[in-house]
Amino acid sequence: MLKQQLNLKLSQKLSPQQIQLMKLIQLPTQAFEQRVKQELEENPALEDGKEDRFDEYEDLSNENSDDDYDNESIETEIDVDEYLSDDEIPSYRLQANNYSPDDDEKSVPYAAGTSFTQHLKNQLSTFRFGETEREIAEFLVGSVDESGYIRRTIMDIVDDLAFTQNVYTDEETVEKVLQKVQKLDPSGVGARDLQECLLIQLNRKEPTKQVELATDILDRSFDQFTKKHYKKLLTRHDISEDELREAIEVIEHLNPKPGGAYSGNTRIVEHVTPDFTIKIEDGELQLTLNGRNAPEMHISRDYSNMLKGYKESKEKTKAQKDAVMFIKQKLDAAKWFIEAIKQRQQTLMVTMSAIMHYQEEYFLTGDERNLRPMILKDIADEIEMDVSTVSRVANSKYVDTPYGTKLIKEFFSESMKNDQGEDVSTREIKKILEMSIEEENKRKPLTDEKLAKVLKDKGYPIARRTVAKYREQLDIPVARLRKEI
């Protein structure tokens, strides 16, 4: 039996230009500046900066070219007048007016330096090595990860030296060279695990009573220390609570990731550039877009003059027509890019303005407990745009507020019901959870079950497993690891 089915499918495809616009909207300020710079380099019909006269794109006439290319018709129409106009266009038509001319246009600072690996290799010259030992030392330095550790066994390193470096040695020699590598700065580098890393740092300190006790604890009772079994430590090392507290304080000042300052194996520290600024003036919120998102752009007058010369010429050769086709493509791209920048500015401002007014109470007070539940659809519905557009703005943009620079997506959160049946933000619940943990007795930290009861008493009836999930999202350890003496 044959069965016929009729399936209707509605699909929407974005044009290449729409996709490019979405990508522009997603870019934060610094990346957007780079994109503008790239476009200026690639399209000679586009220029930056102010100009007294601008080229307008209006249909003054429809002059089609019906000339032949040696008896071949031209399939593409060239409407030259679309790209030409002698009208004086006021500059406000092509500028953003949401920032002051005296806004700070400071360049983004960054700290640059040598790579972490090179930093370590430079220090090897302070040691005396034989030829083979130096090769081993450089290989060991190259094996240090971005946290400052060598997370491989000595046996594996011996094998790799033989296979990849043609250096044949033994575990004893590698261990001997490793001890020298572990004397490099920063202190603790070259360790194979956390215990060794901390002990290396302690061995460089002045041998006070507290340092010696801390070394003894890490050497003999590392497992009990990490699990905070303080009673076992007191008994095993025959010490008082005050002595243990002092030793723990010494350990807490050590660096568990000595390579952390060289994140990504380079010493480049990028600073966040806020895309927006929110200020409070006379009790009202004021939103501005970073002026670097509104560059001055215009069409190249040279390219406009080329088209004008083509229009005025009586004889139009094939070479001229080919040149005009190229010019037309570049002018189309320049025209679109200028318009896309305007659309990007408008989209950013409309979206952020809606977020600011939706979270007005928070921006006026800075108290995270005043953050309203807000999802992408709430803002998308308000500004009548697609959820994906709001997401592109929220995920990669920062706003400078009176309370610090914030990632916009942090203002979004799901909602939960309190005991009054009111919708409250999960961010609000997390903040209260965080405050409850800060206020707890550190000698007897609250378990997740007890924290759930505390939140319930405050009007937030949530399950223990939800408390555990929020605690983990806040990067707060379990009660046992929060215990202090």
Q: Tell me: the pLDDT tens digits for 134-174? A: 888 888 888 888 888 888 888 888 888 888 888 888 888 88
Cα separation, 117 vs 134, whole angstroms: 15
If pLDDT is split at 50, 70 and 90, which confidence band does 14 have? low
Interval 303-345: pLDDT, tens: 777 776 766 666 667 777 777 788 888 888 888 998 999 999 9
Q: Choose among 13, 12, 25, 16: nearest CA to 340.
A: 25
* pLDDT for the residue 289: 93
- Look at residue 104 and tell me whether its pLDDT is greater than 80: no
For residue 186, cis peptide bond before it (omega within 30 degrees of 0): yes
Which residues, 6+ apart, have CB-to-CB distance to 290 below 8 Å?
Answer: 29, 99, 103, 273, 274, 275, 276, 277
pLDDT at 64 over 70: no
**pLDDT exceeds 80 at position 99:** no
pLDDT at 416 over 80: no
Mean per-residue pLDDT over the chain, rounded: 77
Distance CA 231, CA 23 (A): 58
What pLDDT score was predicted for residue 476? 85
Q: Confidence class of residue 257 from pLDDT cuts 50, 70 and 90?
A: confident
Please check whether residue 413 is in contact with residue 457, taking contact to mean a CB–CB distance below 8 angstroms. no
Higher pLDDT: 250 or 78? It is 250
User: pLDDT at position 7, please?
Assistant: 53
> CB neighbours of 306 closer than 8 A, spacing ≥ 6?
323, 324, 327
Question: d(Cα 200, Cα 180) in Å, to the nearest integer?
Answer: 12
Please report, rounded to a whole number, the percentage of residues in the chain having pLDDT higher than 90: 12
pLDDT of residue 363: 94
What's the pLDDT tens digit per position in 53-63?
A: 444 433 322 34
pLDDT beyond 80 at 12? no
Task: Look at the pTM and tell me if it is higher than 0.85.
Answer: no
How do residues 124-134 score in pLDDT, each as one tens digit? 888 888 888 88
Per-residue model confidence (pLDDT) at position 415: 67
| More confidently predicted of 443 and 275 | 275
* pLDDT tens digits along 274-294: 999 999 999 999 999 998 888
Looking at residue 72, what is its pLDDT? 36
Cα–Cα dist 408/363, whole Å = 12
Beta carbons of 46 and 39 less than 8 angstroms apart: yes
Positive or negative, the Cα torsion across 213, 215, 218, 221?
Answer: negative
Higher pLDDT, 108 or 382: 382
Asked if residue 74 has pLDDT above 90, the reply is no
Find the range with the poorest average confidence among 103-117, 261-275, 341-355. 103-117
The pLDDT score that the predictor gives to residue 456 is 83
What was the pLDDT predicted at 380?
Answer: 93
pLDDT for residue 305: 75
Report the percentage of the chain scoring pLDDT > 70: 78
Mean pLDDT for the stretch of residues 343-368: 93
Phi, psi of 73 (to 5 degrees): -75, 150
Residue 262's pLDDT is 64
Angle between helices 131-142 and 154-165 (to 10 degrees): 110
Measure the CA dihedral 232/234/236/237, to 10°.
150
Residue 478, pLDDT above cutoff 70: yes
Among 6-20, 198-212, 229-243, name the one with the lowest average pLDDT: 6-20
At position 294, the amino acid (one-letter code) is A
